[in-house]
A = this chain, B = another copy of it.
Amino acid sequence: MQAFLITFCLSAMDLECASQETVKQGLLARGWPPIKGFSKHVKTKVLEFFSLLIKLGQDDPRRVVHSLKAGLALTLVSLFYYYQPLYKSFGVSAMWAVITVVVVFEFSVGATLGKGVNRGLATLLAGGLAVAAHQLANLSGRIGEPIVLGIFVFLQAAVSTFVRFCPQIKARYDYGLLIFILTFSLISISGFRDDEVLELVHKRLLTVLIGGSTCVIISVLVFPVWAGQDLHNLIASNMEKLGIFLEGFGDEYFKMPEDGESKEDRPFLQGYKSVLDSKTNEDALANFARWEPRHGRFQFRHPWKQYLKIGALTRKCAYRIESLNGHLYADIQAKREIRSKIQETCTTMSMESGKALKELSMAIKTMVKPLAADIHIENSKSSVKNLDTLLKSGLWDDETDLLEVVPVATVASLLIDVVTCTAEIAESVNELATMLKFEVVEPTVSPEKPETGQPKIGIS
């Protein structure tokens, strides 16, 4: 029991597992108390927790604002209880307004709207059906009524629960189905004890609508957080992360480590890792965004599917970069002479793809046609051609050990894949630019020279 209690206390502050284990064993060994060590540990944990909270707020101050908004919405609907005329008309039904605010108020406008609409429509539909079920059950007499009601409740719960497994419905209407089951059951069962079913449905619907609209209004009017804007930024920043890796990769791979310096000390090269697992987040944001009305530069039926397509291509590119990253830290690396032969072209390929991705990211952020990106993509493609020529030219002497060529060849080949992926991304960003009629702004500053000399345009 003692062991269980300690475990529970520690796991409730589940911050660092290894130290937890140590403390637990220490406490058990010493027979708990001495409380001193334990209270010190709790103090550390609490301090850790507070600094984590502060960091969460600093990382995204919108979180603090959201929390205040949630408090505000809840305080507003609680007026139903405090203000006598309001309480007179709704009575305890006012509770539903409070419940609605707590469960419907979400971080983004889209999520709040989606839940609100789901809850409102589901309450309306389930309320109507429950009244009908109540009337039908009424016909079967006092003994038959609970049996008929029981059958109705069982059937609708089973069917609705099963429909929730359908992925297309789960994505958009899962919450609605839950509320449908809830409302239908509550209203039809309550009908057995209370004949004022219509009154019940009416009050419930009204309070849900009031709660829901309080959430939506506060969500839209007070520092709104748009899921669409978040998705837009996420797609752009993911592309930028890959761009940063690729810009740095060439120099990093071909540089000889000096003075025992470790290559793994490069956090800027690890930023792409979060892109690998971004699918769930993107899908969720797109689902929320579809509920959002026109805002800023985003229309109601904004092409969110195109964003998901760009996101999928970005992830495909990230998988290649993950393989490249493996070669950055590989033990067996090709000899300096061999690497230096293709260093220039490979660095250009990587650098130009990286610049193209950063330009594409910037184009999405500013909603301007990615004209500069096309130049970088042409440059990277022509580097691929240069590489082909270089490999064909028999630049290599006959004694070159093929074993030493393999790592370099792999890096080159993966970079070729990355160039292809980048071109695909550029194509889908251009599709988006056409759909959304991105502004055309001629690049005023000529794009930076690639390492190999003049920018080569229109070679492939």
Contact = CB atoms under 8 A, between A and B. Distances in A.
Interface string A270-282: 0000001101100
Contact of A414 (B74, B181, B323): B323
Interface in A393-438: 394, 396, 398, 401-403, 405-407, 409-410, 412-414, 417
Interface string A145-182: 01001100111011101110110100010000010011
A47 to B, nearest CB: 14
Of A66, A102, A172, A392, most buried by chain B (CB within 10 Å of CB) is A102
A98 interface: yes
A87 interface: yes
Contact of A82 (B150, B319, B320, B388): B150
Contacts of A161: 66-67, 70-71
Interface of A: 14-15, 17, 49, 52-53, 56-57, 63-64, 66-68, 70-72, 74-75, 78, 81-82, 87, 92, 95, 98-99, 102-103, 146, 149-150, 153-155, 157-159, 161-163, 165-166, 168, 172, 178, 181-182, 185-186, 189-190, 192-193, 276-277, 279-280, 305, 315-316, 319-320, 322-323, 326, 388, 391-392, 394, 396, 398, 401-403, 405-407, 409-410, 412-414, 417
Given A78-B150, A81-B193, A413-B410, A63 B162 contact: yes
Given A70-B157, A406-B413, 17 more contacts: A14-B172, A67-B157, A70-B181, A75-B150, A78-B153, A82-B189, A102-B178, A103-B178, A319-B323, A391-B402, A392-B403, A394-B402, A398-B398, A405-B409, A406-B412, A407-B413, A410-B414
A182 B100 CA distance: 9
A209 to B, nearest CB: 18
A332 to B, nearest CB: 9
A386 to B, nearest CB: 12
Nearest to A194: B92
Of A15, A146, A162, A190, most buried by chain B (CB within 10 Å of CB) is A162
Count the copies. Answer: 2
B401 A158 contact: no
8 contacts: A53-B166, A66-B161, A67-B161, A81-B146, A82-B146, A82-B189, A98-B189, A409-B413
A392 B388 contact: no
A78 B323 contact: no
B158 A82 contact: no
A435 B189 CA distance: 51
A414 B323 CA distance: 8
A194 to B, nearest CB: 9
A121 to B, nearest CB: 10
A192 B67 contact: no
Contacts of A388: 403
Contacts of A75: 150, 153-154, 157
